[in-house]
Amino acid sequence: MIIEPILQLRGEAGQQDLRGNRSPEARLDEAIGLSAAINLEILHSGVVKVNNPKPGTLFGEGKVSELAGIVASEDLDLVVIDHALSPVQQRNLERRLHTKVIDRTGLILEIFGDRARTKEGRLQVDLAHLTWQKSRLVRSWTHLERQRGGAGFMGGPGETQIEADRRQIQDRIIALQKQLESVRRTRELHRKKRKKIPQPVVALVGYTNAGKSTLFNRLTASEVFAKDLLFATLDPTLRKVTLPHGKDVILSDTVGFISDLPTHLVAAFRATLEEVLEADLILHIRDISHPDTDAQAEDVKKTLEELGVDAQTGAPIIEVWNKVDCLDAAYREKLLEEVSGDGPVSVSALTGAGVDQLSARIDAFIAQHDDILSVRLPVSDGALLARLYQMSEVLERSDTEEFVIADVRVSDKQRGPFRDQFSEFVLPDEPEEQVE
């Protein structure tokens, strides 16, 4: 059973939904999609208005009794409350409903645990789960209240079982954090290696199920797992892509975002999301056919800001309106008329429509920050010539008996190192002829 609680706030304008950025029905549909992502069989779902949230059970007595009746009649094994529950609320609901109860965070963690494939992904899921579980250790069972141990003549209070459990979890969290720090350092080394090669990084971000992995496969001709599921992709994937004018970039696919994502979950996946922080360009993939596309875009923006990425301080962001093939023809035409040349790019990752325009847009963005220079190197210095090919893109080359003369494109990231290495070999710009 899936329950979507609508918490009401009484104000001057009457009662208002505390999570009013999208409709209750849309939030319920998303919760159903999350549950379907781990193959749960849903026998009952509904929206429940909560005018006066109870600190012990969230719902009032009458609603709790009604839910208990549904659980008993349907013989349900699990109740999902699509809202954050306190440890006490979760424990009390499990006692009253006589079945397992999890909240939104618990459901997302279940999905993450099911989807993580790499060692890094599993470490991040374990860390997030233990951090969440640590707060769930409440005195719900009598054995957790017994004291044991103690020192001195009077024995002392000793250590309760719950304190021992919490300490063990904390020790495990510290161990996982150390392992993830090792992963982070390894990723940093990989990034440093990539920085030595003039290949800009383009990161895909977006709400879960916006079509990032499908677009990633379309751009890179890869076969990364992509399916019409929430959180189909958890582990980051990087591939090299050649743009229309021959420029190579690194494309990075990342985990999808979602509304009400707990802070500790974002923190656990920070090692993965650091690829976004290091990107030269961010593509924000939006499911433009979704009825809550604007609210989803706002959730992505908030998550990026939590990571320290915004329009002023982070990498430039290009909006990509995906799934235009799902729109009504008349509405699609009207929508596309409103898009200016430097505005969002409309594509269909499934059919390939608009992907060429997106590649050209990425190409134009990358090229606008590059320097076009002419260099003359001694033909006898093969090592210097090899470094030229490493640090720049050779556009044109001509060889003489003594020199190699080449026109090269130098990326913004390589401008400083290139000047340090080749400044004495750069040919001066030819002065433009003055026309009287």
The answer, yes or no, to whether residue 150 has pLDDT greater than 50, is no
Average pLDDT in the chain: 79
The answer, yes or no, to whether residue 17 has pLDDT greater than 60, is no
Give one word for 258, left, alpha or beta, with left for phi > 0 and alpha for psi -120 to 50.
beta
The answer, yes or no, to whether residue 144 has pLDDT greater than 60, is no
Q: What is the pLDDT of residues 121-137, one digit of tens each?
A: 778 778 888 887 777 76
Residue 216 burial class via C-beta count within 10 angstroms: exposed 0-12, middle 13-18, buried 19 and up = buried
The single-letter code of the amino acid at 13 is A
Find which of 151-155, 291-295, 341-345 is predicted with most confidence, using mean pLDDT: 291-295
Q: What is the pLDDT of residues 76-119, one digit of tens each?
A: 999 999 998 988 999 999 999 999 999 988 888 888 777 766 67
| Cα 99 to Cα 81: distance, rounded to the nearest angstrom | 13
Q: Considering the entire predicted model, what is its pTM?
A: 0.73
Q: What is the pLDDT of residues 356-379, one digit of tens each?
A: 889 989 888 887 777 888 999 999
Of 226-230, 233-237, 347-351, the range with the lowest mean pLDDT is 226-230
| Cα 223 to Cα 205: distance, rounded to the nearest angstrom | 18
